[in-house]
Amino acid sequence: MDWQSESPELWAFLESLHRGDILSGTVAAIERFGVFVALDDGPGHPTLPGVGFLGIPELSWRRFDVPTDVVRAGQRVSCEFIGFDTCNAEARLSLKALEPDPFQAFADRTVVGQEFRGTVERVIPIGVLVDLGDGIFGLIPFREIDGRPAENPVEDLEVGEEIAVVVAEIDLPRRRVFLSGPKSGRYADAVLST
């Protein structure tokens, strides 16, 4: 569809927006692929439930299972404008841009050598996932448990067990923290990410 000629008011509104603008509206529809927002200051969309759209990654910094874990239909929201989708003629929005980033907060308050206690969350094909709290999870690769190759390294670990780790490096661009076990601990060189 040629949105510019078919809906000039909508096109003009979207072109007037600037990255970083704060837009308010009402959650109009929730789909498995994202959330439509009817913006207060914008025109209606001729084919979609709202001119604003929140993609799944822009809903929250925290892990969630379905969009309704974060928002509900009819809810008022304020979002940051992050771009103009010219194919669908919609304003791409971010809810999480207006919230503090827990990973950044973790990096700001954490120093190399700092010890943490984490809880074994689950075992995945490449290692053991450890919850350090506040949405920060670490991965202890199987090959690093006890500092030796392991045939069945999870035999000693149980979901819910607390273990100690030490921060070895924080990689902000990749949103990862490298961990090692304390000198007296039994785990070494873990990777942490959100």
Q: What is the pLDDT of residue 143?
A: 57
AA identity, residue 13: F
Q: What is the pLDDT of residue 191?
A: 45
Q: Is residue 164 helix, strand or coil?
A: strand
pLDDT, tens digit (0-9, with 9 covering 90-100), for 6-29: 889 999 999 999 999 999 999 999
Q: What is the pLDDT of residue 12?
A: 93
pLDDT for residue 171 is more than 90: no
Lowest mean pLDDT among 27-31, 115-119, 134-138: 134-138
Average pLDDT on 107-122 reads: 87
Burial of 79: CB neighbours in 10 Å, binned 0-12, 13-18, 19+: buried
Report the share of the chain in percent with pLDDT over 90. 50
**Number of neighbours of residue 152 by Cβ within 10 angstroms:** 7
pLDDT, tens digit (0-9, with 9 covering 90-100), for 54-81: 999 999 998 899 999 999 999 999 999 9
Residues 71, 30: contact at Cβ < 8 Å? yes
Which residues, at least 6 apart from 52, have a Cβ–Cβ distance to it below 8 Å? 23, 25, 36, 37, 38, 39, 42, 79, 90, 91, 93
How far lies 171's CA from each of 111, 164, 168, in Å? 12, 20, 10
Pairing of strands 52-55, 90-94: parallel
AA identity, residue 137: F
Distance CA(108)–CA(61), nearest Å, equals: 16
